[in-house]
Amino acid sequence: MNPNSIDQQIIDDNWSDLSQWQKVPEINFERMSRYRMSRIKEQLVLHDVALVLLVNPISLRYAVDYRSYPLFQSHIPQVYLVVPQDGPTVIYGCYYDVPQVDDFRPGRPHSFFDGGTNIDQAAVDLADDMVAYLDEIGSSNRRVALEYVNPSITQALEARGIEVIDGVRIAELARLIKSDDEIDCMRWAVAVGEYGAKMVRQALRPGVTELQLWGLLNYTNIANNGDWHEGRMLSSGSRINPWLQEASERKLEAGDLMAFDTDMVGPFGYFVDLSRTYHCGPVKPTARQKQIYRLAVDQIEHNLKLVYPGMTLLEMQKKAYPVPPEYRHNAYPCVMHAVGMCDEYPQVKHLFRGENAYDCVLEAGMVVCIESYMGLEGERDGVKLEQQVLITEDGYELLTVSPYEESLLD
């Protein structure tokens, strides 16, 4: 490779920084931090628990803006955070200063990578730390919430007379309603995601690979201080149907449909969940490609009308777009799901796959995504679309505004 080519592509990159073209929202990070912590503490009170122990990297980011090694933390957890109803917030096993945290303490091994065959004893030691902490803050409440920890930790706490509940419900319900500052963070993250999508659309031509297109989206996110993508959801041509196939080395051909789903943890840690399907020229789209594209658009537009405060999940499931029977086998797993810093609770499944597992009411301040995938089993083409929307007091506001593919709608 010519060494100057790297300079031209990266060091001399004059396009990827979106802030040179669009103003970043003014976000009050201190106010946002207070709001997020207050949401967690509100759930502690509602569930009558003395504290929650958080290990999920999404929860650590939400609670105290801890950002280090999130993917490593997701499968080899080393840092954990204790948030009490009343008392100091303590982070264990952290290597650097986190301004929102009151105290820093050594952590106990709670992955097999760190604890190995001594992990059971480490769980006993961690339980002793939690009991000592409860005594330290003078709490008589011996009920705690744990998020994604080894069964040995739960067993060790229960052996000390501590009642344990699932901490995921604390974290998920806390993140449900977004503040104005969080929405501004999301607006910027979405702007970055859509900018990356624009670059993908511009690069779309015969001979480019799926991985090269995906790389543009990923690069744009990282260049704007975003974090990661939950998958590499981009496929084309004969790989677009069925959906949920990740990007490959396949080269696009004229006439292909190409679709992607960002699944992107973007700037400020907020999620961008945008799906679009584009057509690769220079040949014109077929009548069949236009037909299935229109079905997907119709499904999105129909279901967007069901997004407003007071709508229940079960009611939405019943009123959702009636997917034609022949498209149900390959239909997307859900009609709608919430997002915040990742895909979040709640979601609505298709009624033809059984009644939703739970119910709740949509509220202003929630952000949800409306999903569509249309593709006949055994057919070559398929269409994936998705819109991310903020629920407002009187309906919704569309956060993703990337245009649909005009050539597939004419």
Q: How far apart are the first and last CA of the chain?
A: 43
pLDDT tens digits, residue range 109-149? Answer: 999 999 999 999 999 999 999 999 999 999 999 999 999 88
> Is pLDDT above 80 for 11?
no
The total number of structural domains in the chain stands at 2
At 9 the pLDDT is 65
In this structure, the dihedral spanned by the alpha carbons of residues 269, 275, 280 and 284, taken in order and rounded to 10 degrees, is -150
Is 8 within a domain?
no
Place of tokens 């999508």: 197
CATH number at 80 reads 3.40.350.10
Is 140 within a domain?
yes
> Is pLDDT above 60 for 2?
no
Residues 386 and 335 in one domain: yes
> Is pLDDT above 60 for 108?
yes
- Rounded Cα–Cα distance for residues 377 and 223 (Å): 38
Residues 167 and 203 in one domain: no
- Rounded Cα–Cα distance for residues 107 and 127 (Å): 12
Q: What is the mean pLDDT of residues 347-360?
A: 97
Q: Which residues contact 304 (CB under 8 A, 6 or more apart)?
A: 370, 387, 389, 396, 398
CA distances 171 to 23, 59, 86, 199, 344, Å, are: 31, 6, 17, 35, 10
Return the H-helix or E-strand segment holding 211. helix 210-223
Q: For a pLDDT cut of 90, what percent of the chain falls above it?
A: 95
Residues 314 and 243 in one domain: yes
Is 18 within a domain?
no
Q: What is the mean pLDDT of residues 82-102?
A: 95
Using an 8 Å Cβ cutoff, are 257 and 279 in contact? yes
Phi-psi region of 156 (alpha: psi -120 to 50; beta: other; left: phi over 0): alpha
Residues 94 and 148 in one domain: yes
Closest CA to 82 of 67, 101, 61: 101
Is 19 within a domain?
no
What does the block give as tokens for 359? 């119910």
CATH number at 208 reads 3.90.230.10
pLDDT tens digits, residue range 245-256? Answer: 999 999 999 999
- Please give the mean pLDDT across all residues of the chain: 96
SS3 92: strand
Return the H-helix or E-strand segment holding 31. helix 29-46
Closest CA to 318 of 295, 296, 294, 348: 348
Residues 206 and 228 in one domain: yes
Q: Which residue spans within 162-318 are E strands per DSSP?
A: 163-166, 228-229, 233-236, 257-261, 264-265, 271-272, 275-279
- Rounded Cα–Cα distance for residues 337 and 347 (Å): 4
pLDDT tens digits, residue range 145-184? Answer: 999 888 999 999 999 999 999 999 999 999 999 999 999 9
Residues 53 and 122 in one domain: yes
Using an 8 Å Cβ cutoff, are 203 and 212 in contact? yes
Return the H-helix or E-strand segment holding 76. none
Residues 197 and 159 in one domain: no
Residue range of the domain that includes 200: 180-408
Residues 163 and 220 in one domain: no
